[in-house]
Structure 1
Amino acid sequence: MIELQGITKSFGSLQVLRGIDLTIERGEVVSIVGPSGAGKTTLLQIMGTLDKPDSGSIRLNGVEVNRLGEKKLSAFRNKEIGFVFQFHQLLPEFTALENVTIPALIQGVSAGTARKQAQEMLDMLGLSERAAHKPAELSGGEKQRVAVARALINHPSVVLADEPSGSLDTQNKEELHRLFFDLRDKLGQTFVIVTHDEGLAAQTDRTIHLVDGQIVR
């Protein structure tokens, strides 16, 4: 479902990725681990089309994304890829429901349909009673579940998560981890997760170890 071949990336004289070959199957929950500076986040950003490699190819859901122009790439990203970040990145002036609707509105879904879909996502994630609350009124765990709902609203091919539980306490961290696997089981959702959390990595279907910009095992 995701195929990376020969991915390299440098920032000035610093080579961050050194020829990455990686295939991820539909419905897999895959973790990417490694020391700080190994290139994990850079790899995730390239996989998510937020950054471009210096060389190599990226095929996602049958589409070679390197060949898409900026407008088509942006539309493809919005439809096919969901993102969950360490600090949720919810817009503080909007409610949980409004935050979740945004990707659907960008895709061109009508406001009424987007709200209905967003409410269904929040209901599924146990946030029915928090839909009208703004981020400042939500707990850390609730914010991350809203972020997951936002990532899922367009039914993406893959959800890419960068240290999604890094800012959570133990209980909320464990609940978020269980949520990823529940969503895989219910929806067949594919997840690629960059993490330092050994407990989460041990639960995933496969762990990719990245050291000095190379996959070592």
Structure 2
Amino acid sequence: MIELQGITKSFSSLQVLKGIDLTIDKGEVVSIVGPSGAGKTTLLQIMGTLDKPDTGRILLNGTEINRLKERELAAFRNREIGFVFQFHQLLPEFTALENVTIPALIQGVSSGEARRRAVEMLEFMGLSERASHKPAELSGGEKQRVAVARALINHPSVVLADEPSGSLDTHNKEELHRLFFELRDKLGQTFVIVTHDEGLASQTDRTIHMLDGRIL
């Protein structure tokens, strides 16, 4: 489903990625681990089209995404890729429901359909009663579940998560990890997760170890 071929990336004189070849299959939960500076987040950003490689090819469901023009790329990203970040990145002025609808509205879905999808996703996350609450009124775990709902609303091919449980306490961390596998089992969702959490990495279908810009 996702194929990376010969990916390199440098920032000035520092080469961060040194020829990455990687394939992710549909329905896999894959973790990427390694020390700080190994290139994990850069690889995730390139996989998610938030950055471009210097060389190499990225294919997602047969589309060579690094050949797309900016407008095509933005539409492809919105349709095919969901993102979950360490600090949720919810918009503070909007309710949980409104935050979840945003990617669907960007895609051009009607407001009614976007709201229907968002209600469905929040119900799946066990957050129906929190839909009208703004982020400041939610716990850390609830914010991350809203962020996961937002990532899933357009039914993307893959969800890319960068240290998604890094800011959570032990209970909420375990709840979030269980949610990822529940989503894989019930929806066939694919996840690629950058993490320092050894417990999460040990549960994933496959663990990719990185060091100094290479896959070990």
The aligned residue for residue 130 of structure 2 is 130
Deviations 1:139-195 (A, max 9, x none): 000000000000000000000000000000000000000000000000000000000
Task: Name the SS of the counterpart of 2:161 in structure 1.
Answer: strand
How do 1:199-214 residues align onto structure 2 when only pairs under 5 Å count? 199-214=199-214
The aligned residue for residue 154 of structure 1 is 154
Please give the TM-score of this superposition, normalised by the length of structure 2. 1.00
The aligned residue for residue 43 of structure 1 is 43
Question: Match of 1:38, as an amino acid?
Answer: A
How do 1:172-183 residues align onto structure 2 when only pairs under 5 Å count? 172-183=172-183
The aligned residue for residue 55 of structure 2 is 55
CA distance in 2, matches of 1:63, 1:156: 14
How do 1:1-217 residues align onto structure 2 when only pairs under 5 Å count? 1-216=1-216
Question: Match of 2:28, as an amino acid?
Answer: E
Question: Match of 1:45, as an amino acid?
Answer: Q
Question: Match of 1:60, as an amino acid?
Answer: L
CA distance in 2, matches of 1:191, 1:155: 12
Task: Name the SS of the counterpart of 2:10 in structure 1.
Answer: strand
Gaps of 5+ in 1: none
CA distance in 1, matches of 2:10, 2:208: 20
Deviation at 1:137?
A: 0.1
Task: Name the SS of the counterpart of 1:176 in structure 2.
Answer: helix
Alignment coverage as a number of residue pairs: 216
CA distance in 1, matches of 2:35, 2:4: 21
Deviations 1:71-90 (A, max 9, x none): 00000000000000000000
Deviation at 1:66?
A: 1.2
Task: Name the SS of the counterpart of 2:165 in structure 1.
Answer: coil
Question: Match of 2:158, as an amino acid?
Answer: V
Question: Match of 1:192, as an amino acid?
Answer: V
Deviations 1:86-130 (A, max 9, x none): 000000000000000000000000001100100000000000000
Please give the TM-score of this superposition, normalised by the length of structure 1. 0.99
CA distance in 2, matches of 1:122, 1:99: 11
Task: Name the SS of the counterpart of 2:16 in structure 1.
Answer: strand
RMSD between superposed Cα atoms in Å: 0.3
Deviation at 1:26?
A: 0.2
CA distance in 1, matches of 2:181, 2:113: 27
